[in-house]
Amino acid sequence: MRESVVPGAADRFGAEPPPALELEPKPLIPVPTPTQARFDTASGPDQLALETQSDEEQPFVVCARCRNEAGKFAQSCPTCGASFDTPEQREHNARVWAERKAQLQADRESAHQRQEAMLEDAKHQASVRHNEAVELA
């Protein structure tokens, strides 16, 4: 039997009653409930990713005469002054852009393949380490 639970023990020793424990719950900071709707909005991360990865539109013009690049809204080449509004320039840029898009696609595929290879290698390394650990045990 502990002394503190004996009735009148506190009075007998002149002790102050222990302070009441803080049992009131602290006010919680309001946290927004995660909902699927947040990801469905047009301003969501998916939409941003789509906009930055879009390669349907040529973001630049390459001069057919001097091969220098100009902004997509340029009417003529800032380097050699050739007009971009000619069939020759349009045909050249269509070809250049088709090649760039093919190259971008190839780069993405090889980057994806490298990623897959690295993942496979990491799995392999992990299993090798696991087997070594089993053998050492």
State the nearest-atom distance from the C-beta of 65 to Zn ion, in Å.
Answer: 5
Distance CA 61, CA 71 (A): 6
Q: Which of 6, 9, 66, 118 binds Zn ion (CB under 5 A)?
A: 66
Q: Applying CB under 5 A, which part among 33-41, 58-66, 90-98, 108-116 lies near Zn ion?
A: 58-66
Output phi, psi for 67, to 5 deg. Answer: 70, 10
State the nearest-atom distance from the C-beta of 104 to Zn ion, in Å.
Answer: 24
Site for Zn ion in 5-44 (CB under 5 A): none
Q: Applying CB under 5 A, which part among 31-39, 82-90, 92-100, 111-119 lies near Zn ion?
A: 82-90
DSSP letter for 3, please.
G
Paired residues of 71 in beta bridges: 60
74 binds Zn ion (CB under 5 A): no
Distance CA 127, CA 135 (A): 12
State the nearest-atom distance from the C-beta of 77 to Zn ion, in Å.
Answer: 3
Distance CA 33, CA 6 (A): 49
CA–centroid distance for 23 within its chain:
42
86 binds Zn ion (CB under 5 A): no
Distance CA 34, CA 31 (A): 9
Q: Which is nearer to Zn ion, 13 or 73 (CB)?
A: 73
Side chain identity at 14, as an amino acid letter? Answer: G
63 binds Zn ion (CB under 5 A): yes
Q: Which residues bind Zn ion (CB under 5 A)?
A: 63, 65-66, 77, 79-80, 82
